[in-house]
Chain A
């Protein structure tokens, strides 16, 4: 069992910075769409936080492609290895797609893309109702898929930590000494 290597520091710091941000964004997103009282401050948070995630995930992907992650335990069943691989790449894809879809959807809907104060982003898509509707639905369904994948991912991480106790959790969660 080769379970005691770790993700490099950049990967670990980014993972634990982004994990709460992304979970928060999912709650902020569904909350601002439903709430009759809290939408103004939630959407003011949603846009800049989403764009921050976009920047962070680009850094994270570059780091990921340049540093191989620690190997999974040799005794891990093959389907679990494949599931881990597939779910991690799905998470990366969704982390990248969600903010891009949000930005493009506001562009297609003819909305100004306000970050804070007078700071705006340019439109990245033409104003068009069909494109808007498609992107709006994509943003909503991709968010549901992201949430489901995160739940599965957390369940798997805790399974490694509490049931298999094979060092996989620590490969992402262990900080301190030897960095």
Chain B
């Protein structure tokens, strides 16, 4: 077991394969009178320096420290530049509340995915309602997009995190498109508003966004988080116990019937009417959603969240989400959660939709930045330890 230390050997050339030693041939060492072991060291030193520099350069390039490519850091910087800094808050969907409840599987999705969540009778849920935008004080009635994020942890220790929005498809197909949108949305220092020319150029370069603008202009507004439908939008791969695999998108379909919030009501609505409404409803009764899985047909866009699937696709209701309690995010457990859409249990995997990979990287940046601000005491408001809350 214990290898004896080998005794000294006689001269054994001690030279790595490449590059050649500085005195590989007599021709390389004109001064033959030099004692062995001390030839001209310059070529070797240059070689060593070149290796070190090349390695450092390669790391700096991989890290995005040199080179101007799109990185998660730059995407996050561009999102931050749209509004004023709000330390400790999420860089997007900054305004929200924590919610708690249960997901009850009905067993129907067991044929689609081996994930425990579809077989386990009840799974506890830690969720978060929010409105889109980086302002934790944004007016609820001005937010075209509302959101629901969920964390489901099954008894096998696996987690499914998802962050869903009330739009039926995403404005852009790629992270580059999202980044262009962030850059075009930054306020012009002169007017304090986004530059219309930049916005027009963005739309011209990413024409898929026109579909989204049409949706935003025409879709009716609901009057509560509780009667809004939330869509996962990105496609995921569901793998069943028998090995069969399908592309799936999921939605949370409210059991509460839709009730509109007309434009006149929006003008009068309180800035925080969504949270007030939610609290009032939860005191009276739990709120419930059906989890609807939509299965792609051949030819459907499975890596482009800007394209909706046709309405006639096969749908499976996997169970019911019931939310029973809400809590302000400053003190709730959802505050320190990163709802990274690629935290998934076995049986569900991300598709190669490029938006998914980018979200995972950017959410981590946002999470790191806000947790750092909280850790260093720079986020009194986000943690409820400051004045206004």
**How many of chain A's residues touch chain B, expressed as a range?**
35 or more
Whether A147 and B70, one on each chain, are in contact in the complex, defined by CB atoms closer than 8 angstroms, is no
| CB-CB contacts below 8 Å: A81-115 with B | 109-112
B21 CB contacts on chain A under 8 angstroms: 161-162, 165
Judge whether B44 and A158 touch: CB under 8 Å. yes
Q: A37-B357, A159-B48 are in contact. Are A8 and B3 (CB under 8 A)?
A: yes
Given A9-B3, A10-B3, A163-B44 contact (CB < 8 Å): yes
Cβ distance A104 to chain B, nearest Cβ, rounded Å: 14
Task: Give every chain A residue within 8 A of B362 (Cβ-Cβ).
Answer: 36
Distance of A113 from chain B, by nearest CB (Å) = 9
Closest A residue by C-beta to B7: A5
B309 CB–A CB distance under 8 Å? no
Give the distance to chain A from B66, nearest Cβ to Cβ, in Å.
11
Q: For residue B73, which residues in chain A have a CB less than 8 angstroms away from its CB? A: 34
Main secondary structure of the interface of A (DSSP, over half): helix
Q: Which residues does chain B contribute within 8 Å of A112, judged by CB atoms?
A: 157-159, 343
A55 at the interface (CB under 8 A from B): no
Q: Is A37 a contact of B62 with CB atoms below 8 Å?
A: no
Across the interface, do B5 and A5 meet the contact criterion of CB distance under 8 Å?
Answer: yes
Encoded as 1 (CB less than 8 Å from any B CB) or 0, chain A from 55 to 71 comes to 00000000000111010
A96 smallest CB distance to B (angstroms): 21
Query: Which residues of B line the A interface, CB within 8 A?
Result: 2-3, 5-9, 12, 14-16, 19, 21-22, 36-37, 41, 44-45, 47-49, 51-52, 55-56, 58-59, 62-64, 70-73, 75, 156-159, 175, 336-338, 342-343, 345-346, 350, 354, 356-358, 360-362, 364-365, 367-368, 371-372, 374-376
Could you list which residues of chain A lie within 8 angstroms of chain B, going by C-beta atoms? 2-6, 8-10, 26-27, 30-40, 43, 66-68, 70, 109-112, 117-118, 120, 127, 129-130, 132-134, 136-137, 147, 151, 154-155, 158-159, 161-170, 173-174, 178-179
